[in-house]
Amino acid sequence: MDKGIAVKKEENFSEWYTELLEKAELADVRYGIKGFVVYREWAQISIEKMFRIYCDALDNYDHMPLCFPTLIPEKNFELESSHVEGFSPEVFWLEKEGDERFALRPTSETAFYQMYSLWIRSHRDLPYKRYQRGSVFRAEKTKTTRPFFRGREFHWIESHNGFESEKKAMKQVMEDMQITKEVLLQRFAIPHIFFERPQWDKFPGAVNTYAADALMGSGKVLQLPSTHYLGTNFSKPFNVKYQSKDGKEKYVHLTCYGPAISRIYGAMVALHSDNKGLRVPFELSPKQIVIIPIRFEKDKNVMKHAKKIERKLKKYSVFIDSREEYTPGYKFNEWELKGIPIRIEIGPKDIEKEQVVIMRRDTGEKETVRLEELSKYVKSIEKEFTENLKKQASTDFDKSIINAKTMQEIKEGIKNDKIVRINIKNMELESLKLAEEIDLLGGEIRGCRIDVKEKPFGKCVVSKEPATRVVYVAKSY
């Protein structure tokens, strides 16, 4: 059976990604319902690790977990007009029970805030920071589904938080960005930019939306975690109030934050993997070390030493590939395809020389290591592995961003799969006009950076007057 990937990532990203998912056994699309995918074991182990990391991060920032039902009453959606207008086309509705329909949740604002109106009473209850993990369902009809990137069911975490004022709520938005950086960049090695989305592209019912975009190997950006300042747009219809210190009843200012773990996994796979197969950060790999004994069928001493090494490295997720029906070369290719961070080879000659051969998946380098130095060497790889993936991805990300001062330069940038920085006078008016032209090229206005302040580097590309904002344009999923 051919274990290699026939298509090169840089030549046809879409086919490369599809082949990687199939041959590395990450997902199976043959479930029979469009947009609903089976996540295979090798992917799900990593996804569970990602969930734990993200939940731990939220816990560390004083959030507490909840678990809500999957069904949401139709009457809840109808309470917030712009929210129901934005999500109704994407809702999976269940058959009526009596006079009421129920929806498979596309997101959970209308579920959480119904209960928050019962739970939040006083300023002493605030801030109120809660989250849940689970699945959401969106009946997207106009966009192409792709495993992990975009489906009709995806796995995520959502936090919903209540505060006394807009100022305190916006501190939470900034905290969400910090959590995103700590997890997405530092743990998952995914470089990204946080944008304030234009008003026409905000979350239904939000005052403002802020979202992280990461660049995939296809030249398109993928939206990852987004955080939203909801103001009192939901607390008013759902009657989420608190009694202030001076005894007055006031509406709670709400925020929500949604890291879609399955989408982040897809981004991570697409970003770090290469033409040999999968690569993911060291701690997220389902198995971290594989030991491949050479000629162990003829020399029983080889397996004995392999087991000693396994015990020596027991702090890691390590296993011995002792399958007799496959050659060492076949095993090398298979575990490179599946992204094992460290491969240890040991044969009779290595035992004589008291050494092993190590191949590391982050750099592709192969090195002979003395047995007495093995633990120290593996520990050094553990420290360097994820950092190397992050450096490689960040270099590519930085190179992909270009400046454009004219419409022709914008067109060229989009055509060449770049993230294009442009100057705009008015974030909403000019960029909306520009969006109509850019849309014909397959690009989108992504917004203005919120994580750093940027000064315009020229005149507005639309009005030719002095610019006030820097806006980013890119193709997207």
4: amino acid identity, one letter: G
Q: What is the distance between the alpha carbons of residues 404 and 339, in angstroms, rounded to a whole number? A: 38
- Which backbone phi and psi does 94 adopt, to 5 degrees? -90, 165
Assign 208 a pLDDT band (cuts: 50, 70, 90): very high
Better pLDDT: 120 or 220: 120
Is the predicted pLDDT of residue 70 greater than 90, yes or no?
yes
Q: Do domains 13-272 and 287-381 have the same CATH topology?
A: no
Q: What is the distance between the alpha carbons of residues 347 and 372, in angstroms, rounded to a whole number? A: 17
Whose CA is closest to 25, among 3, 52, 7?
Answer: 3
pLDDT mean over 197-204 = 91
Which range among 272-286, 427-441, 447-461 shows the weakest confidence by mean pLDDT? 427-441
Is the predicted pLDDT of residue 286 greater than 80, yes or no?
yes
Contact 360, 341 (CB under 8 A): yes
Contact 266, 14 (CB under 8 A): no
What is the pLDDT at residue 86? 67
Euclidean distance between the first and the last CA atom of the chain, given in angstroms as a whole number: 33
Whose CA is closest to 157, among 193, 188, 130?
Answer: 130
Assign 379 a pLDDT band (cuts: 50, 70, 90): very high
Question: Distance of alpha carbon 394 from its chain centroid, rounded?
Answer: 15
Q: What is the distance between the alpha carbons of residues 161 and 457, in angstroms, rounded to a whole number? A: 37
Contact 461, 410 (CB under 8 A): yes
Contact 445, 471 (CB under 8 A): yes
What is the pLDDT at residue 2? 59
- Domain segments of the chain as ranges: 13-272, 287-381, 401-474
Assign 285 a pLDDT band (cuts: 50, 70, 90): very high
Helix (H) or strand (E) holding 135: strand 128-137
How many Cβ atoms are within 10 Å of 311's Cβ, its own excluded?
A: 8
What is the pLDDT at residue 142? 60
Better pLDDT: 200 or 286: 286
What is the pLDDT at residue 143? 64
Assign 1 a pLDDT band (cuts: 50, 70, 90): very low
In order, the DSSP letters of 206-232 are -SEEEEEEEE-TTS-EEEEEEEEEEET
Assign 98 a pLDDT band (cuts: 50, 70, 90): confident
Helix (H) or strand (E) holding 42: helix 41-60
- Which backbone phi and psi does 154 adopt, to 5 degrees? -140, 160
Assign 78 a pLDDT band (cuts: 50, 70, 90): confident
Contact 316, 383 (CB under 8 A): no
Q: What is the distance between the alpha carbons of residues 394 and 400, in angstroms, rounded to a whole number? A: 10
Burial status of residue 330 (CB atoms within 10 A of its CB: 0-12, 13-18, 19 or more): middle
Q: Which long-range contacts (CB under 8 A, 24 or more apart) does 349-353 make?
A: 350/294, 351/301, 351/302, 351/305
Is the predicted pLDDT of residue 411 greater than 60, yes or no?
yes
Domain 13-272: CATH superfamily is Bira Bifunctional Protein; Domain 2 (3.30.930.10)
Q: Which structure tokens are listed for 118? A: 């019962």
Is the predicted pLDDT of residue 299 greater than 90, yes or no?
no
Which range among 87-101, 205-219, 359-373 shows the weakest confidence by mean pLDDT? 87-101
For domain 401-474, the CATH class is alpha beta
Model confidence pLDDT, tens digit, residues 171-188: 999 999 999 999 999 999
Better pLDDT: 381 or 437: 381
Contact 111, 75 (CB under 8 A): no
Model confidence pLDDT, tens digit, residues 247-263: 999 999 999 999 999 99
Model confidence pLDDT, tens digit, residues 121-172: 999 999 999 999 999 999 876 666 789 998 899 899 999 999 999 999 999 9
- Which backbone phi and psi does 280 adopt, to 5 degrees? -135, 165
pLDDT mean over 279-302 = 92
267: amino acid identity, one letter: A
Topology classification of domain 287-381 = Rossmann fold (3.40.50)
Model confidence pLDDT, tens digit, residues 2-30: 568 999 999 999 999 999 999 999 999 99
Q: Which structure tokens are listed for 369? A: 């290591």
Q: How far is CA 256 from CA 59, 174, 211, 228, 230, in A?
A: 15, 12, 12, 5, 7
Model confidence pLDDT, tens digit, residues 383-406: 999 999 999 999 999 999 999 999
Q: Which structure tokens are listed for 25? A: 């056994």
Peptide bond connecting 89 to the previous residue in cis, omega within 30 degrees of 0: no
Q: What is the distance between the alpha carbons of residues 53 and 46, in angstroms, rounded to a whole number? A: 11
Residue 429: strand, helix, or coil: helix
Is the predicted pLDDT of residue 440 greater than 80, yes or no?
no
Contact 301, 272 (CB under 8 A): no
